[in-house]
Amino acid sequence: MKVLLIWPNNPEAVLSNELSLCEPLSLEYVAGALKGYHDVKIWDLRLDKPLSSLAKEYEPDIIGLALPFTTILRFGWDTAQEIKTLWPKCFLILGGHHPSVSEGWMENFQADFVIKGEGGNTFLELVNDIERNGEKHRPLKTKVLESPKVIDYDMIPKPNRELLKHHQNNYFHSIYNPVSLIRFSIGCPFSCSFCILWKLTDRKYITKRFDRIIEELSEIEVNNMYVVDDEAFINPARMDNLANEIRSAQIKKKYHMYLRADTAIKNSSTIANWADLGLDSVLVGAESFSENELIDYNKKAMVSDTIEAVKIFHENNIKIRANFIVRPDFNEDDFKRLEDTVHKLGIDLPSFAVLTPLPGTDLHAKHKHELIANNPDLYDCYHTLFPTLLHLEHFYELFSKLIYNTSKKNKEISNNSPMFYFSNDNYFEIMINKIRDAHKLYELI
């Protein structure tokens, strides 16, 4: 059967496509499951021509629409409506992170099926059933299919990157241009209240075999690798062995990875090993410089861990992207204190996120009745869903100044990148202005 997989576009995102544009790896995994069984095309609406143009030359049997983020839902709904208009006889299947963790705002989608979880194999089974039974397999109302929980990485097919090879040089992530995404593992044994990822694997850390990793790295032509594991270094002995395998295969790449500060300080030799291999930068969830706030987040880490980790990374010439949480109860002094802390620590690539009760998290379950808006657009970590201590307009003014000022200070130190999401054009300034004016969105709700 002819299967069209679509990645939607959000033209209004604060973090615009001009600041970060990564390949849709989840669709490549679905395409990998279908490879050899069905004719598959991936359509990235951030880069490809409109669906109305595609419809003039292509007639799929089945369309899979990704809903990777809560903030994509409004535009995903518009895309689903367009799909139904352009290809009314097509089966429409929804999947992705948001429908896997929440039913919120999903009731109005005109879809035949919704797949929850790691959906490649489930998608293949569904396509096979539709091929056998045709219209008889179309449900009277949207049917939700639950994929089995992953207990072994061998359950997950290899991603098919060939379908988007023509876009490879268009995908980038800040200073890494071009970039390709890869996973070494999924899952995390920690249980931070603001995070959902540990729930998806029941806190299990599930690793990919070395031979599969080496095969993927060997096939990827670009030099920059964005390792999108939930936390790659949970098992340091394994990561040391993987580094040795990559060396033996004579693969030379530059890596950006997620990493907890306490993991780094407990395994400094492993960090040094990977620095020698090509670990260029890390994203550390510093979150806060208040011990009480870290306890509230169930972070199970201390402020001193971040301070010590910064030293280890800099000793190994690894750039640090540290993320800090901006709380809704911040006052003016809190914003200034956070700005000074980032500067004193020497964070190379600072980033900031407003405390956001993402759907499915413990934070959302605990506080969902306190939220000041019911708008999926606001779940992007740049908008507050909680009441703020300061007037909302003043809160966003200080938040935008925090990002701008840390950027300005870093630009004086480095010519490479003043902060992680940066462009040499005016897109960073556009981002700052969107954040400064964010209070206006609440007036429309």
Which residue ranges make up each domain of the chain?
Answer: 2-149, 154-444
State the Cα–Cα distance between residues 97 and 46, nearest whole angstrom: 18
State the Cα–Cα distance between residues 300 and 381, nearest whole angstrom: 22
Closest CA to 429 of 17, 11, 20, 19: 19
pLDDT band at 445; cut points 50, 70, 90: very low
Three-state secondary-structure class, residue 303 = helix
State the Cα–Cα distance between residues 410 and 417, nearest whole angstrom: 8
The predicted model gives 261-267 an average pLDDT of 89
Helices 332-345 and 303-315, interaxial angle, to 10°?
A: 30
Tokens of 219: 């096939």
State the Cα–Cα distance between residues 20 and 12, nearest whole angstrom: 14
User: Do the domains at 2-149 and 154-444 have one common CATH topology?
Assistant: no
Superfamily holding 154-444: tm_1862 like domain (3.80.30.20)
The predicted model gives 361-383 an average pLDDT of 94
The predicted model gives 52-72 an average pLDDT of 97
- Residue 364 makes CB contacts below 8 A (sequence gap 6+) with 357, 358
Greater model confidence, 299 or 157: 157
State the Cα–Cα distance between residues 129 and 93, nearest whole angstrom: 13
pLDDT band at 343; cut points 50, 70, 90: confident
Greater model confidence, 322 or 403: 403
Reply yes or no on domain 2-149 having CATH 3.40.50.300: no
CB 150 within 8 A of CB 158: no
CB 113 within 8 A of CB 126: yes
